């Protein structure tokens, strides 16, 4: 799935990872998964990583719809979007304007986003531990199936490596 979200209720933190081609349907689905997570609260912090998205097929009306109809976060939630390339960065800024929230910012680097979210030490360790457990579960399930296509666990592994590097910087 091109959009995956990981909710860590203990750290009150959500990571949303966008990989490959991202569509409105996947954005809507991800918002629903977050909203329906039993431990989720609308004031949780969120990190959205667009750095592995190759194509984001969203325009202003799509972003407006996501905010008005789907976004499970409150304006009090501190949220950071990481977008390295120009187009995802511009889409992130457009979403920032639509939300009109002082608690949503767009960054070019993961480190800047983590600093702004005030994600230090134990919070990141908890999130990384939770994500690694989920990655192991996915790898176990994949080894049961003999699918050799590029898997979300590979993308999650790349993200975890970047997260570890940024948190130790």
Kindly report, residue by residue over 33-61, the tens digit of the pLDDT: 999 999 999 999 999 999 889 999 999 99
**Residue the block writes with tokens 């070019």:** 108
- Pick 136 or 32 by higher pLDDT: 32
| The three-state (H, E, C) secondary structure of 15-27, written as one string | EEEEEEEECHHHH
Mean pLDDT of the chain: 84
Report pTM: 0.79
Calpha distance 34→84 (Å, rounded): 24
Of 69, 8, 4, the closest CA to residue 44 belongs to: 8
Tell me the pLDDT tens digit for each residue of 98-129: 999 999 999 999 889 988 998 865 566 666 66
Question: Shortest CA distance to 62 belongs to which of 93, 103, 33, 25?
Answer: 25
Q: How far apart are CA 92 and CA 149, in angstroms?
A: 29
Q: Which domains does the chain have, with CATH numbers?
A: 3-119 (3.30.750.24)
- pLDDT above 80: residue 11: yes
Residue 147's pLDDT is 46
In angstroms, rounded to a whole number, what is the distance separating the alpha carbons of residues 32 and 30? 5
Whether the per-residue pLDDT at 132 is higher than 80: the answer is no
* Region for residue 75 given its phi and psi (left: phi exceeds 0; alpha: psi -120 to 50; beta: otherwise): alpha
Q: Given a cut of 80, is residue 162 above it in pLDDT?
A: no
Q: In the prediction, which pLDDT does 72 show?
A: 98
Backbone angles phi, psi at 80, to 5 degrees: -130, 135
């Amino acid at each position: 799935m091109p959009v995956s979200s990981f909710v860590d209720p203990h750290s009150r933190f959500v990571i949303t990872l966008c990989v490959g081609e991202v569509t409105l349907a996947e954005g809507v689905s991800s918002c629903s998964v977050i909203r329906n997570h039993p431990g989720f609260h609308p004031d949780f912090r969120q990190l959205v990583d667009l750095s592995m998205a190759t194509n984001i097929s969203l325009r202003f009306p799509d972003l407006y719809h996501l905010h008005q109809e789907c976004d499970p976060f409150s304006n009090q939630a501190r949220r950071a979007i990481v977008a390295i390339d120009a187009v995802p960065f511009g889409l992130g800024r457009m979403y920032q304007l639509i939300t009109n929230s002082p608690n949503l910012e767009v960054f070019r680097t993961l480190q800047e986003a983590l600093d702004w979210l005030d994600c230090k030490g134990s919070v990141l360790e908890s999130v990384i531990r939770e994500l690694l457990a989920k990655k192991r579960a996915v790898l176990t399930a994949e080894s049961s199936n003999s699918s050799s296509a590029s898997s979300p666990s590979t993308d999650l592994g790349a993200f975890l490596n970047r997260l570890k590097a940024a948190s130790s910087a």
